[in-house]
Amino acid sequence: MHERPVTMNICPPKSSLKPGVMHDKQSEPDYRKLRIDKVGVRGLRFPIQIRDKERTLQNTIATIGLFVDLPHEFKGTHMSRFIEVLNSHGHIVHVENIPDILHAMQAKLKSAVAHLEMEFPFFLVKKAPVSGMESVMDYTARFDATAAGTEIDFVLTVKAAVTTLCPCSKAISRHGAHNQRGLVTVQVRSRKAIWIEDVIALVESSASSELYSLLKRQDEKAVTERAYENPVFVEDLVRNVALKLNAHPDVTWYKVEAENFESIHNHNAYASIEKG
């Protein structure tokens, strides 16, 4: 007599959800009682248009971050909604739309505070000092905007590279003086919008010399001699910029940083000054 094999029917547990319904994990409650200040997406590249003084409108590519606050009772936020908000304003972001984007994030994600960060290359056509030959220079600009309720806080950041020549080296050397490229970072809050070009000009006029992407020999001579006649320490550089910002009628707060990439030392020189 043959025994029948024993079989077992193992059924998976039935889901508590109805067919076709997907569970929203982000909306679950969280019991740790910890509010999150900023949560969202970062590193998103997107085309933008900004106004400049010469050509009226400049097209460039920004790296964007979008964030909101998250109350302690919620487990998570809905990341896709940030992208929805951004794309709902068109395939190109206009800087004038920043307040609308912030308020749309507040409404879409039911948040009291929304943040937007936007960093992008900014281009200027510059003429060499003697030959007058034109070339394109790139700078870095950044917008940091926050909406808290109906209030908007906006910070403009501009980064510009310059030449600095060491006053001490000039004073003690029989021939020449060491110089280096420096990077100046200026952050400002203002009552009215300030042109990026004006911040760049303010920085470049505070250094030993400005930089150019194209120089012929006569231009190189002029730039070298200009730097030699105008030596500045990194401390001089931030103070020079700060004095010009102090004199600006619309600037309410600023932070100036300068870093010199030293040519004869195995370290960089750094200085910072802040108002407000």
pTM: 0.87
In a domain, 20, yes or no: no
State the residue range of the domain holding 69. Answer: 34-275
CATH label of the domain that carries residue 115: 3.10.270.10
Domain count, the chain: 1
| Segment among 27-36, 44-53, 139-148, 236-245 with least mean pLDDT | 27-36
Residue 138 lies in a domain: yes
Q: Which residues pair with 143 in a beta bridge?
A: 118, 156
Percent of the chain with pLDDT over 70: 90
Tens of pLDDT, residue by residue over 73-93, are: 778 788 999 999 999 988 888
Strands 179-190, 134-148: parallel, antiparallel or unpaired by DSSP?
Answer: unpaired
**How much of the chain exceeds pLDDT 90, in percent?**
78
State the chain's maximal CA–CA distance in angstroms. Answer: 114
Q: Is the pLDDT of residue 142 over 80?
A: yes
Confidence band of 10 (pLDDT split at 50, 70, 90): very low
* Matching residue, tokens 């909101």: 68
Helix 98-108 / helix 79-87 crossing angle, nearest 10 deg: 140
Q: 3-class SS at 187? A: strand
Query: Which secondary-structure segment (H or E) carries 242?
Result: helix 234-246
Residue 2 in any domain: the answer is no
The closest alpha carbon to 116, from 190, 57, 76, 62, belongs to 62
